[in-house]
């Protein structure tokens, strides 16, 4: 059902609050922007030529085919005056588990509903008008009800990976009194045009990951090495694919818990910087990569090694994006077992303690939620932004006071929730969604 493995003992306490995210800067800040692709507007297409034509109800979407990090604008026409209807979003995850979110709306005197201007009645499943609100509010379902999730289980909607399918389908429906009036399927893309994918293996490449590269002939852009945290696996793959769709060669790297036969360790213990440097060298050689601008993007525990790479190897890495960061090196993560150190260099453990950032060639951008229940990422972001790089420039932070730990990667998806008491789902986090939307646009700006 698209679960995210538990990232640590503190995850059970992580509660997602549905509130509006604010942003407080530190060490410098940029105005929020949409991603580049969001600047292009398409045309409405649906069943009918207008908002209230005589052909019956119709769903109009300005971008029926769009990148997964692009917003969409949804209008519904052809309803009766002041009709009360249910609008729902449906999708299927990589395990064929159905997901769904729905809200109740009332048409205006002309039989129209604009999801950019009208929120669901009662503020459920989201409180403010937003055409993408249903996308982020989807929950796993079983039959007609919401699937019960165990207390402390964190989960997210994971469609088929970009390596399997270049896009996924999302179906919108409008119903009244239990009868479906109309439906519309939209396509959310990970990869566009001639963006290429290549699987990297330990046997052939000495790294485990997914490489995504823009078409040959594109102008050189900053390549990005992407990886997750203590969940292990290849959790950065969706973000890497979208970065490539934006023109940045990107490698989603698995550094531990990569599956049977991968040759990688199963625990976060003595992971050597040489492994990441090997991946960076491969990435820098890709068509369209500007090796002088290579960036590294790490989430949660992965933020530690991302900062260490920028500090210890400034000739290789320029900028660092640290999501939900720590400002210090923490110990190994072995699910109760003992270990030497989380990270190593040339076989020697990197000791726990504060991370200095004075040798970083570019900028460390720390992105954190002020309501992070896993650890104090907002305080760490302040510490990071208080430091200066090799040129004397301040590093930067983006802090979203109402957001939690799931501020990483791109917007317009379902960023993560938790099961509560008696197996009930807590809620979606609107604040995490908004933090992702703002943070992703600023990451793209930094890479540009």
In the chain, what are the domains? 9-36+190-447 (3.40.50.1820), 43-189 (2.60.40.2240)
Give mean pLDDT, residues 230-235. 91
Q: How far apart are CA 302 and CA 307, in angstroms?
A: 9
Q: What is the pLDDT of residues 412-423, one digit of tens each?
A: 887 666 554 444
Say what the alpha-carbon torsion angle 324, 432, 422, 336 is, to the nearest 10 degrees: -10
Place of tokens 């938790």: 418
Of 189, 300, 303, nearest in space to 241 by CA: 189
Full-model pTM:
0.84
Q: What is the mean pLDDT of residues 111-124?
A: 96
Distance of CA 238 to the CA centre of its chain: 8
More confident residue, 423 or 226: 226
DSSP 8-state code for residue 260:
T
Q: Which residue has the tokens 């205006």?
A: 108
- Where does the pLDDT of residue 336 fall: very low under 50, low under 70, confident under 90, or very high at 90 and above? low
Q: Model confidence at 303, in pLDDT bands (50, 70, 90)? A: very high
User: Residues 210-224: what's their mean pLDDT?
Assistant: 91
DSSP annotation of 419 reads B
Query: What does the pLDDT read at residue 332?
Result: 92
- Name the pLDDT band for 29 (thresholds 50, 70, 90): very low
Res. 378: pLDDT tops 70: yes
Q: Three-class SS of residue 167?
A: strand
φ and ψ at residue 143, rounded to 5 degrees: 70, -125
Cα gap 62→71, rounded to integer Å: 10
Comparing C-alpha atoms, which of 228, 158, 231, 227 is closest to residue 5?
Answer: 231
Q: In angstroms, rounded to a whole number, what is the distance separating the alpha carbons of residues 306 and 362?
A: 13
Residue 214 structure tokens: 């823009």
The DSSP code sequence of 77-108 is: ESPPTT-EEEEEEEEE-TTS-EEEEEEEEE--
Q: What is the pLDDT of residue 355?
A: 98
């Amino acid at each position: 059902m698209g679960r995210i493995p538990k990232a640590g003992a503190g995850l059970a306490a992580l509660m997602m609050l549905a509130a509006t995210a604010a942003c407080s800067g530190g060490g410098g800040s940029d105005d929020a922007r949409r991603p580049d692709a969001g600047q292009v507007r398409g045309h409405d297409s649906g069943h009918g030529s207008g908002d209230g034509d005589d052909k019956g109800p119709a769903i109009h979407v300005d971008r029926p085919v769009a990148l997964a990090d692009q917003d969409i604008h949804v209008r519904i026409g052809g309803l009766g005056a002041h009709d009360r209807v249910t609008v729902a979003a449906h999708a299927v995850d990589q395990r064929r588990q159905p997901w769904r979110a729905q809200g109740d709306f009332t048409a205006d005197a002309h039989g129209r509903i604009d999801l950019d201007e009208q929120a669901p009645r009662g503020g459920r499943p989201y409180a403010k008008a937003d055409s993408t609100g249903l996308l982020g509010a989807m929950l796993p379902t079983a039959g007609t009800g919401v699937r019960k999730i165990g207390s402390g289980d964190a989960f997210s909607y994971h469609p088929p990976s970009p390596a399997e399918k270049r896009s996924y389908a999302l179906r919108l429906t409008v119903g009244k009194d239990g009868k479906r009036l109309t439906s519309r399927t939209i396509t959310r893309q990970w990869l566009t045009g001639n963006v290429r994918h290549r699987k990297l293996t330990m046997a052939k490449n000495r790294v485990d990951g997914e490489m995504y590269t823009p078409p040959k002939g594109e102008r050189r852009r900053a390549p990005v090495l992407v990886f997750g945290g203590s969940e292990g696996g290849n959790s950065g793959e969706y973000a890497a694919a979208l970065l490539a769709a934006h023109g940045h060669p990107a490698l989603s790297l698995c550094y531990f818990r990569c599956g049977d036969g991968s040759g990688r360790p199963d625990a976060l213990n003595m992971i050597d910087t040489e492994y990441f440097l090997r991946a960076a060298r491969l990435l820098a050689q890709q068509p369209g990569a500007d090796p002088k601008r290579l960036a590294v993007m790490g989430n949660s525990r992965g933020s530690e090694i991302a900062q260490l790479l920028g500090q210890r190897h400034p000739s290789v890495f320029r900028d660092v994006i640290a999501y939900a960061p720590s400002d210090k090196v923490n110990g190994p993560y072995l699910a109760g077992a003992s270990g030497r150190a989380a990270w190593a260099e040339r076989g020697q453990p990197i000791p726990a303690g504060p991370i200095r950032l004075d040798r970083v060639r570019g900028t460390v951008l720390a992105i954190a939620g002020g309501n992070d229940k896993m650890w104090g990422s907002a305080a760490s972001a302040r510490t990071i932004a208080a430091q200066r790089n090799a040129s004397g420039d301040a590093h930067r932070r983006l802090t979203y006071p109402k957001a939690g730990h799931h501020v990483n990667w791109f917007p317009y998806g379902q960023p993560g929730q938790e099961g509560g008491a008696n197996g009930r789902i807590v809620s979606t986090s609107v604040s995490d969604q908004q933090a992702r939307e703002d943070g992703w646009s600023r990451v793209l700006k930094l890479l540009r």
